[in-house]
Structure 1
Amino acid sequence: MDKWSALKMFVVTAQLGSFSRAAEQLGKTPSALTKAVNHLEAELGSRLFERSTRRIVLTEVGRLYLETARQVLQRLEEVGEEVEQLQHGLRGNLKVTAPLAYGQAFLDQVCDGFLEQYPQINLQVDLCDEFVNLLESGYDLALREGHDDLPGLIARVVGSNRLALCASPVYLARKGRPVNPQTLEEHEWLLYRHPLLSREFWWVERDGQRLSLPQPQAPRLRSDNYDLLLANALAGRGLLHTPLWSAAPYLADGRLVQVMADYEIDPDSFGPHILAVYPSHRRATAKVQAFIDYVGGFLARHGLD
């Protein structure tokens, strides 16, 4: 029996927990899947499933074998893609996940340019702020803020995650007060709510001196959606901590002004970098590398490397 087909039938059966449902998904008969699993079990000399009239359950050997079988099938698929790309150029599907705020800030432009440069690649880009487990989700790549010492993952730095404290000229004129560590409590704030961020303090550094500044306890607007806060900052509603990759075009055209610019703001748990991340057990294919290089090049051209 074809080993590749047998492995695929075993993996789908294990995922669905049923020979009949797996057979329906694969367009096979249940007996064909049973035969494939029996073949693998005979080869191993050990059972992969405990079977009953109601259900099948992976054995300890089966759980171990499933993890390896998934990796083998994934790698075979990747090698097939790489061979095809060597022969015919970059093509196929690329599945990417990234934070919501990356979309409007730069990822929409990245996708446009990338699709123009690689007309035979189809992109799926899913934007969400929830943590996505790359080892289980099926994504080829994630763009993230953070640190590059992630277990089970390979992370390449593609940009900077420096923060700035910004406000619109309209707000600053209306408030009529300078912005410095002594006057922060006199100002109106737009506060990003996120479980990784401290609710008590934010940190800055100037001339080698590190300062802890209190978070505003009664902001004019608090939200877990950064784009909503940015829109209100542009409308003149208050001060906002914003990544430079987001604020750059508004600083350039004068719709935002950076205040306390001589202070370096600590990005806290978000980390100092924008990262392109993929599972360490999967070698990045040519199309993944091409996307990573394109993102890094785009951010560098806009001074955000």
Structure 2
Amino acid sequence: MDKLGALKMFVVTAQLGSFSRAAEQLGKTPSALTKAVNHLEAELGARLFERSTRRILLTESGRLYLETARQVLQRLEEAGEEIEQLQHGLRGNLKITAPLAYGQAFLDQVCGGFLEQYPQINLQVDLCDEFVNLLESGYDLALREGHDDLPGLIARVVGSNRLALCASPEYLARKGLPVTPDTLDDHEWLLYRHPLLSREFWWAERDGQRLSLAQPQSPRLRSDNYDLLLANALAGRGLLHTPLWSAAAYIADGRLVRVMADYDIDPDSFGSYILAVYPSHRRATAKVLAFIDYIAGFLASRGLS
């Protein structure tokens, strides 16, 4: 029997929990799938499913075998893609996940330029702020802020995650008060709420001196959506801690002003880098590496490396 075909039939059956549904999806007969699984069980000397008249369930041996079978099929698919790309150039689908705020800040331009450079690659880009488990989700690549010592993942630094304290010229003129460590409590704040960020203080450093500055306890606006806060900062409603990758264009055109610019602001648990991350058990394909190189070059060209 075709071993790879049997593995695929086993994997789909395990995913759907039914021989009949798996047969329908694969265009096979239920008896063909049963025969394939029986062949694998005979070869292994162990049962992969516990069968009843109502349902089938993976055994402990089945769960172990399923993970290996998935990896075998995935790696063969990737190898096939690599060989095809060696012969015909970069092509195929690339599935990426990234934080919401990356979209308008730079990822829309990155994706547009990448598609122009590689016309035979199709992108799927899903933006969300929830943590995505790359080992289970099927994404080829994730863009993240953070640290590069992630278990089970390979991370490459593609940009920096430096923070700035910013406000609009209209706000600063209206308030008429300098922004210094001593006046922070007298200012209006737009505060980003996130479980990784301290609610007590933020750190800033100047000339080797590290300061612990109290977080505003009564901000004018608090939100877990960064884009909402940025829009209000641009509208003149207060001070905002903002990544330079987001604020650089607005600082350049004068819509935002960087205050306390001689202080280095600690990005806290978000880490100092923008990372491109992919699972270590999967060899990075040429199209993944091409996207990583493209975004690293894009951010470097804007002084954000």
TM-score with structure 2 length normalisation?
0.99
> Deviations 1:86-122 (Å, cap 9, x if unpaired)?
0000000000000000000000000010000000000
How far is 1:230 from its partner? 0.4
| 2:22 corresponds to | 22
> Deviations 1:227-277 (Å, cap 9, x if unpaired)?
110011001000000000000000111110111111111101101000000
How far is 1:28 from its partner? 1.3
Q: Secondary structure at the match of 1:194?
A: coil
Inter-partner Cα distance in structure 1 for 2:124 and 2:218: 40
Q: Secondary structure at the match of 2:196?
A: coil
Inter-partner Cα distance in structure 2 for 1:263 and 1:232: 23
Inter-partner Cα distance in structure 2 for 1:144 and 1:27: 39
How far is 1:7 from its partner? 0.7
> Deviations 1:62-104 (Å, cap 9, x if unpaired)?
1111111111110000000000000000000000000000000
Inter-partner Cα distance in structure 2 for 1:298 and 1:149: 24
How far is 1:211 from its partner? 1.2
| 2:2 corresponds to | 2
Inter-partner Cα distance in structure 2 for 1:146 and 1:10: 38
Inter-partner Cα distance in structure 2 for 1:182 and 1:260: 11
- In the alignment of these two chains, the number of paired residues is 305
How far is 1:49 from its partner? 0.8
> Deviations 1:12-38 (Å, cap 9, x if unpaired)?
111111111111221211111111111
How far is 1:220 from its partner? 0.5
Q: Secondary structure at the match of 1:254?
A: coil
How far is 1:303 from its partner? 0.4
Inter-partner Cα distance in structure 2 for 1:28 and 1:251: 60
Inter-partner Cα distance in structure 1 for 2:23 and 2:167: 59
Q: Secondary structure at the match of 1:181?
A: coil
Superposition map of 1:151-166 within 5 A: 151-166=151-166
How far is 1:209 from its partner? 1.5
Superposition map of 1:217-256 within 5 A: 217-256=217-256
Inter-partner Cα distance in structure 2 for 1:210 and 1:7: 58
Inter-partner Cα distance in structure 1 for 2:16 and 2:210: 54
Q: Secondary structure at the match of 1:46?
A: coil
> Deviations 1:119-177 (Å, cap 9, x if unpaired)?
00000000000011101111000000000000110000000000000000000000000
Inter-partner Cα distance in structure 2 for 1:59 and 1:114: 45
User: Root-mean-square deviation (CA), in Å?
Assistant: 0.7
Between 161-170 and 202-211, report the one with greater CA deviation.
202-211
Inter-partner Cα distance in structure 2 for 1:27 and 1:213: 64
| 1:35 corresponds to | 35
Inter-partner Cα distance in structure 2 for 1:23 and 1:194: 45
Q: Secondary structure at the match of 1:222?
A: strand
Inter-partner Cα distance in structure 2 for 1:219 and 1:24: 57
Q: Secondary structure at the match of 1:111?
A: helix
Inter-partner Cα distance in structure 1 for 2:154 and 2:254: 38
> Deviations 1:27-64 (Å, cap 9, x if unpaired)?
21111111111111111111111111111111111111
Inter-partner Cα distance in structure 1 for 2:301 and 2:249: 13
Inter-partner Cα distance in structure 2 for 1:216 and 1:144: 27
TM-score with structure 1 length normalisation?
0.99
Inter-partner Cα distance in structure 1 for 2:275 and 2:184: 32
Inter-partner Cα distance in structure 1 for 2:182 and 2:24: 68
Identity of aligned residues (%): 90
Q: Secondary structure at the match of 2:43?
A: helix
Inter-partner Cα distance in structure 1 for 2:181 and 2:223: 23
Inter-partner Cα distance in structure 2 for 1:190 and 1:124: 32
Inter-partner Cα distance in structure 2 for 1:77 and 1:93: 12
Unaligned runs of 5+ in 1: none
